[in-house]
Structure 1
Amino acid sequence: MAAYLSRLHHISLHVSNADKLAKTLVDKFRFNLFATRLSGRSRQLAFRKGAAVFVVNERPNQGGVEPQDITGEWAQDPRRVRVRSSQCNATRCLYDVSPHNAVDTVSNVCFEVEDVERSFRALSHLGCRFLVPPTTVEDEGGPVTYSVLKSIVGNVCHTLIDKTKYEGEFLPGFDVRVPDGGSGDEDPSCPITHFDHITYACPRKATHRAMSWYQELFGFRRFLIDSSDDVDEGFVINQEGIGLRLTAMEYWKCSEAGVLLPSADEREPDCKFVIAESLPKQGRNQVDTFLEQHRSPGIQHIGLYTKNIVSTAHAMAEAGVQFFSPPPAYYTEVGKQQEMEEAGHNPQMLAQHGILLDTDLHRGPLSPAASGERRRYLLQVFTKPIFAEDTFFLELIERKGATGFGEGNIKALWRSVQAYMENETGDSKEGAPGMLQTAQ
């Protein structure tokens, strides 16, 4: 591999109205605004919940200029850009670029690395397109070096950042603020701890190229979603009107070294990446809706890990978050009620917020007792899109030993969305399939 990734640092969003999204993240999703960069026409807001950090960038205008590839010229004149945080260009994003995108979008996944300049040289040699050269920003906490490269998935970019010499709270250029009542990280009613997974929506036949790119450059490895997940073809459902291919991957360095959670003796699972594409001959679906309304491939949803999904979903629903719910029949299917009760959950309580449960009998080391395997399950619930378009949305997920993505729920979710579409054809959200793609 060309670059060694240590951990996921943050995920960036670019929106036309930062205040509106800030209110949604704080009031509804219970994130805390902890750092800001407000200067001139540049507005960048950082929100945190556990180890999950979103940076919201306000797009200066709808048009914008597409970022230029600087790789070639930088290779000829490889001087490092070094600035104090007080000298930062007031009209420019720090640690990111402004994407050429007409709609609100989630477009940057920032990774920590140990050596940005080494990564830049190695990735440039392999043909990567860089939009920001190695740049060092510093303040009283020390220096941080970063660079931004373009991925091959739509408008998705990756910021590579080195914070090994930085002792500040977040990043140079940001003013760190303490929310009322302290850090705000501990919230018993809404215990989100980290990003669980990120899902890309891609055109048909794009998966193999994207997988190869991440494998060659960053050492990502295939992660099998299900026992029927084929190493080459991915996890495919191509029946009963469902045409969907899901392929998952994870970055190995984090997998081997592990990342500590804020809590004392737990280890954070890797933030996995999932590529979703539609299959032909099954009609229009969720991926197609995303590609049309987003106008390019991109990040379609992000899974937030919670230690108590019932409490978290209840708190968010009380604050105004709208969740997508399957038909009531889902909770009365033959065996489903028993499955939920054996896992220690009340079906009526799960149904209240549309929470889905999926057991994971086949995954992991063989257990001497089937009853032990019954305890391996996960719970999921999906929000409606948070932008004006049917594009990006969030998922809450709680894992109890299960490492997959709820493959047993895909058909039920798909059918429920189709029923929703048929019953709500006059709704302004006619593109409702955009809500479901999360049913990995």
Structure 2
Amino acid sequence: MNLNGIDHIELYVGDARQAAFYYCTAFGFRLRGQGGPETGLKGQRSLLLTQGDVRMVLTSPLVADHPAAEFVRRHGDGVAVIALEVDDAESAFGELVHAGAAAVSAPARYAEGDAVVTTAEVLGFGDITHRLVQRTGPRTEFLPGVFLMSATNDADDTGDAAPLLELIDHFAVCVPAGQLDSTVKHYEEVFGFSQIFEEYIEVGAQGMSSKVVQSPSKLITLTLIEPDTSRERGQIDDFLAWHGGAGVQHVAFTTDGITDTVRALAARGVRFANTPPTYYDALADRVPDLAVPVADLRDAGVLVDTDHWGQLLQIFTESMHVRRTLFLEIIERRGALTFGSGNIKALYEAKNRELVGGLR
């Protein structure tokens, strides 16, 4: 079984059209297809957005008993499906179920002309499904015969402009306390992932444990996080409470030239998490030979971390959801292979310096 990468993600949302307008207007996605009852998608309306190598489906329920209705009721808008590209969906489905994955939907084939897509679904973590996707023929069709494809975008016709976001780098996943090791084991034993990184992170009186699992192709990465309930309550506890259990806290997208991307997104109305000005006072000492001048980083609010392989530049958006759950991360890798955990401590220390300075 070869897991070749992320084929697409699907978000369950209360109103797909409103969500699509936001993602297109604010983040530069383009509307490329849609489906609903008239195309064979029972009880739902789905819109396909694309940008760079990213495909994102937004699905809203049209009837009360559709799975998206229960998902949105329990969790609010959020990532419900992480679709994995495979060579043979039927074979992969059989292998995963034999290894212990819970089956969600059996293999189904969609064809129109030379385009053929086979899908099957198994449970991942929490209420998150992994859809296995096998594609042959023209890749311009998303789901032949079910999604009506369009070459135009009503929300944001940017022509041949370079994409702001290029591909999905990783998913940050929060799990309840006590479930981190079992989730890692599940992905190792069932999906064939490997654990590539682990650490315990202290943020003042708060604490959290994190382990990263990755597919053999290195193109599917989950950063799994659980709170330390013996310490003070923190943001991971808040996510789990507001989301109603395990789920995707944020999706990380790569970009080329992060400071320009952040300025472009900010001009479109995207709001980013604030970085204390004092963070940049110590940055040059913490990260020698910065890939981008401090002044540019400060202006854009971009964070920098370093590992044995290089530098990681990153920034987080504010959550766009009423429950303050799902948000996005924008990153640029300058050789770094890790995920910027050094910035958690640096931000905490910078915030402390800012507070102390304000008391003088």
Report TM bin, short chain.
Answer: 0.7 to 0.9
Map 1:364-375 → 2, pairs under 5 A: 364=309
Decide whether aligned partners of structure 1 residues 99 and 115 sit closer, same or farther in structure 2, where only a CA change above 3 A counts.
farther
Q: Residue 277 of structure 1: which of 217, 226, 238 is its match?
A: 226
CA distance in 2, matches of 1:26, 1:109: 20
Counterpart of 1:187 in structure 2 is 161
1:176 aligns with 2:176: no
Partner of 2:10: 12
Is 1:135 aligned to 2:108, yes or no? yes
- Equivalent-residue separation in structure 2 for 1:168 and 1:33 (angstroms): 13
Give the match for residue 64 of structure 1: 65
**CA distance change for structure 1 residues 201 and 419 in 2, over 3 Å: closer, same or farther?**
farther
Q: Does 1:358 align with 2:315?
A: no
Aligned pair partner of 1:43 in 34, 45, 51: 45
Give the gaps of 5 or more residues in structure 1. 67-96, 225-233, 256-269, 365-375, 422-440
Aligned positions of 1:428-439 closer than 5 A: none
User: What is the identity, as a one-letter code, of the residue corresponding to 1:350?
Assistant: L
Counterpart code for 1:349:
D
Structure 1 residue matching 2:333: 3-state secondary structure: strand
What residue is the counterpart of 2:329 in the other structure?
395
**Secondary structure of the equivalent of 2:31?**
strand
Q: Aligned pairs, how many?
A: 347
Q: Residues 416, 39 of structure 1: CA spacing in aligned structure 2 closer, same or farther, 3 A cutoff? A: farther
What is the CA–CA distance in structure 2 between the aligned matches of 1:393 and 1:120, rounded to whole Å? 30
Q: How does 1:143-292 map to 2 (within 5 A)?
A: 143-151=116-124, 153-165=125-137, 168-172=140-144, 173-179=146-152, 187-188=161-162, 191-224=164-197, 234-238=198-202, 240-252=204-216, 254-255=217-218, 270-292=219-241
Give the Cα separation in 2 of the matches to 1:199 and 1:344.
25
Q: Given that residues 10 and 110 in structure 1 are in contact (C-alpha distance below 8 angstroms), is that contact kept between their aligned partners in structure 2?
A: yes
Residues 162 and 98 of structure 1: CA distance in aligned 2, closer, same or farther (over 3 Å)? farther
Tell which deviates more after alignment, 397-406 or 116-125. Answer: 116-125
1:329 equivalenced with 2:283 (yes/no): no
TM-score normalised per structure 2? 0.88
1:131-151 per-residue CA deviation (whole Å, 9 max, x = no partner) reads 211111222233211111112
**Kindly tell me: are residues 5 and 125 of structure 1, through their superposed partners in 2, closer, same or farther at Cα, counting changes over 3 Å?**
same
1:122, CA displacement in angstroms?
2.3
Shift of 1:239: 6.0
Structure 1 residues 219 and 283: alpha-carbon distance in aligned structure 2, compared to 1, 3 A threshold: same
Question: CA offsets per residue over residues 49-83 of structure 1, 9 Å max, x none?
Answer: 1111111101235x5365xxxxxxxxxxxxxxxxx
- TM-score of the superposition, structure 1-length normalised? 0.73
Using the TM superposition, give the Cα deviation of residue 109 of structure 1 relative to its aligned residue in structure 2, in angstroms. Answer: 0.4
Whole-angstrom CA distance in 2 between matches of 1:250 and 1:285: 26
**Aligned partner (choices 119, 125, 128) of residue 98 of structure 2:** 125
CA change 1:400–1:186 in 2 (3 A) is farther
Contact persistence 1:245–1:279 (CA under 8 A): yes
Cα displacement (A) at 1:353: 3.0
RMSD: 2.7
Decide whether aligned partners of structure 1 residues 118 and 380 sit closer, same or farther in structure 2, where only a CA change above 3 A counts.
Answer: same
Partners of 1:359 and 1:308 in 2: CA distance: 17
- Displacement of 1:117 in angstroms is 1.9
Task: State how far apart, in whole Å, the 1-side matches of 2:96 and 2:175 are.
Answer: 23
Mapped to 1, the partners of 2:119 and 2:353 lie a distance apart of: 47
- Aligned equivalents of 2:187, 2:112: Cα separation in 1: 33
Structure 1 Cα separation of the partners of residues 116 and 288 of structure 2: 53
TM-superposed CA distance for 1:306, in Å, is 0.4
Partner AA of 1:64 in structure 2: D
CA distance in 2, matches of 1:402, 1:185: 32
**SS of corresponding position for 2:90:** helix
In 2, the alpha carbon distance for the partners of 1:343 and 1:271 equals: 28
Evaluate the alpha carbon distance shift between residue 420 and residue 19 of structure 1 in structure 2; reply closer, same or farther with a 3 A threshold: farther
SS in 1 for 2:33: strand
- Which runs of 5 or more structure 2 residues have no equivalent in the other structure? 356-360
Aligned-partner Cα distance in 1 for 2:140–2:289: 47
Cα distance in structure 2, aligned partners of 1:11 and 1:383: 18
* Separation in structure 2 between the aligned mates of residue 165 and residue 126 of structure 1, nearest angstrom: 30
Deviations 1:128-177 (CA, angstroms, capped at 9, x unpaired): 222211111222233211111112x2111000111135554322111111
**How far apart in 1 are the matches of 2:286 and 2:28?**
31
CA distance in 2, matches of 1:339, 1:236: 20
Retained in 2: the 8 A contact 1:42–1:58? yes
